[in-house]
Amino acid sequence: MRIHRTASSAHTRAYSRTDSVALNAEDRLHTQTKEKGANQAGDFRVIDTINETSRYLERENNKFISMREQIAVMYTVLTVTGLVTGVIGVFLDDAVEYLTSLRTGICTSSFFLTEHLCCLSSGEGDCPDFLLWGGESDTKSYMVNLGFAVIYGFSSAFLVKRFAPYAAGSGIPEIKAVLNGCVMRGYLSGWTMVVKILGLTLSVAAGLNLGKEGPVVHLACCVAFLTANCFKLFRYNETSIRDVLSCACAAGVATAFGAPVGGILFAYEEASTYFPNHVLWRAFFCATVAALVLRWSNPFFDGSLVMFRVKENVQWYWFELLPIAVVGILGGFIGYLWIKLNLQWMKIKMRNSWFRRSPIIETICLVFLTVSANWVFPFLRQTNSSLLSTLFAGCSSEDMTTSSSWSDLLCHNSRKPELITILTYGVIQKFLLSALTFGSRVPAGLFIPSLTVGSMFGTLVGMGVHTVASSYPEFFLFRDCTSATFCAAGSVYAIVGAASVLAGVTQVSVSLAVIMLELTDRLNLLLPLMITILLAKMVTNFFGTPSIYDSYVHMKRYPYLEPGAIIENELADASRVMSKKVGCWQSTGSVHGI
């Protein structure tokens, strides 16, 4: 199990004080604490986890709480955290889907229904009950869609700037710092949670290249923190608070992806610093409660938690391990380039005071660019989640003979050149826009955008492999294919491509493999997923680039002690680590005197 490595005031990251960019980031960070809804007493101090429990007992006059009472309080907090996180996740799903549908039109029979629910009984044909704002005019549809998106983006940025600056961004870098020992009560306040829920709903509905998965982890931690502070057992015990926050991370991922086991592993692998056995069991409990709430809501209308279903029981063949390995290597390189581009863009924004003064205008510009870039091809006008569902689903035998939905574009060889053009354009524009959007002053995650870029890239590779295998069916490597139609299935490459890019950006491994399995319900893809994630992580490690979350911890200069960090500074004076009040002891004396 992981060793204890919590940050302390004498062991923070050793950075050069002459780094102007880092200093600007630090100044901006402390400026934010003065804004409404951000400042909390004691923020950015560092706790001493080893002695925290003994200090808590001293404050309570050594009044030990019975084990039964501790267990009752702990599981009450975990139950409430799981329940509320699940409810928040359901609300976000429904609200985002409705607001996104409202950009296109409105259901005349029941105005509160989304386009999908309104047209559910109409089949694949026309839907007379759903009124399109622009009618048959593509220009009018674009203008109305853009207008709604700008309103959503403006509202999200305004709420964050005016009421809760800590609600911006993913929140996972801050949670990592908190679990490492830094106190950031402002990031976990109720006001931050409310604004993040509203802002996240609006920013995702605006169509920006961002996701809600990372922010849901932040929201789960807010719920856990607020619930735990209702009990005296946690109110002044920072160590116990961090145990609960680790469990909340698992519940957040379980709610966001419908992946409770992957959420537990994510909390252990990526978020937490100290993760003992008892926390593992409690995280399991909390994630289970959140998953039960999600399952009760039936978000995908099929009685399961599988977010992206694959139509066919797709198979992969041994000769495909080579192109799958290539996907892993290139996906890791794409993740590396994404991190570099995003960090360079953030440095430019930190140097330019206009971005700090005008986050609302920046958000509106990003909305305009995103909607306009997606409008080039109708296929890309879908939300990122819908794109992933389409690409992951692949082609069934029925799709090869029909032209419903997007199957005509994806599954018919006659339209393959058009699909290659669309996917190539989509990879480039979503790569660039997601790198420019992440880090803006709105609630924003990066899981879904990274998965989308990777799935389109992987589909392109799969199309190439499928073309070669179909052209040379007698070649000895391709003889294992039972049918040229389903040999080198595009959905396999879409899934492993998505995993490789996300692994390159976040540098998570075991938890990501499990999350992808729970997302797709395809256990037979475990080995290809492991290979691609392994190679992607090796590529980013080769370049020596930290994950995007660690990079943001560095950039914002949060107190954070790396695993196995060795701090050396030969120029430091002893006075920096010594107390001015020196205590003296005689050579002989009593223990009581010491």
Q: Per-residue pLDDT for the chain (594 aa), expressed as one digit of tens each? A: 343 444 443 333 333 333 333 334 434 444 444 444 444 545 677 776 666 666 655 655 545 667 788 889 999 999 999 999 999 999 999 999 999 999 999 988 888 888 888 887 665 557 888 888 887 888 999 999 999 999 999 999 999 999 999 999 999 999 999 988 888 888 999 999 999 999 999 999 999 999 888 899 999 999 999 999 998 888 778 888 889 999 999 999 999 998 999 999 999 998 887 788 889 999 999 999 999 998 888 776 666 777 888 876 678 888 889 999 999 999 999 999 999 999 999 999 999 889 988 999 999 999 999 999 999 999 999 899 999 988 988 776 555 545 555 666 777 777 888 899 999 999 999 999 999 999 899 999 999 999 999 999 999 999 998 888 877 777 777 777 755 456 778 889 999 999 999 999 999 999 999 999 999 888 889 999 999 999 999 999 999 889 999 999 999 888 887 766 555 555 667 776 677 676 676 666 665 665
Q: Which helix (H) or strand (E) holds 130?
A: strand 130-132
Same fold, 63-297 and 322-383+420-553: yes
- At 171, list the tokens: 């929140």
- Separation of alpha carbons 233 and 236, rounded Å: 7
H-helix segments, 164-237: 172-179, 190-205, 213-228, 232-235
Tell me the per-residue pLDDT of 108-156, one tens digit each, with 9 for 90 and over: 888 888 888 888 766 555 788 888 888 788 899 999 999 999 999 999 9
- Per-residue DSSP letter, 211: B
DSSP assignments along 351-380, one per residue:
H-HHHHH-HHHHHHHHHHHHHHHHTTSGGG
Contact 509, 533 (CB under 8 A): yes
- Separation of alpha carbons 571 and 26, rounded Å: 23
Helix axes 490-506, 447-471, angle to 10 degrees: 140
Beta-strand pair 105-107/130-132: antiparallel
CATH number given to 63-297: 1.10.3080.10
| Nearest in space to 281 (alpha carbons), one of 86, 78, 88, 84 | 78
Question: What 3-state DSSP class applies to 107?
Answer: strand
| Nearest in space to 11 (alpha carbons), one of 184, 244, 181 | 181
CATH fourth-level superfamily of 322-383+420-553: Clc chloride channel (1.10.3080.10)
Tell me the per-residue pLDDT of 36-85, one tens digit each, with 9 for 90 and over: 444 454 567 777 666 666 665 565 554 566 778 888 999 999 999 999 99
Domain boundaries, the chain: 63-297, 322-383+420-553
- Per-residue DSSP letter, 112: T
Q: Which helix (H) or strand (E) holds 132?
A: strand 130-132
**Could you give the angle at the alpha carbon of 460 between the alpha carbons of 456 and 462, nearest 5°?**
110
445 has which bridge partners? 211
| Nearest in space to 160 (alpha carbons), one of 242, 218, 226 | 218
Cα distance between the two ends of the chain: 36
278's CB contacts (< 8 A; 6+ apart) are: 243
The pLDDT value recorded for residue 92 is 93
| Nearest in space to 455 (alpha carbons), one of 507, 370, 392 | 392
The pLDDT value recorded for residue 227 is 95
The identity of residue 194, as a single letter, is V
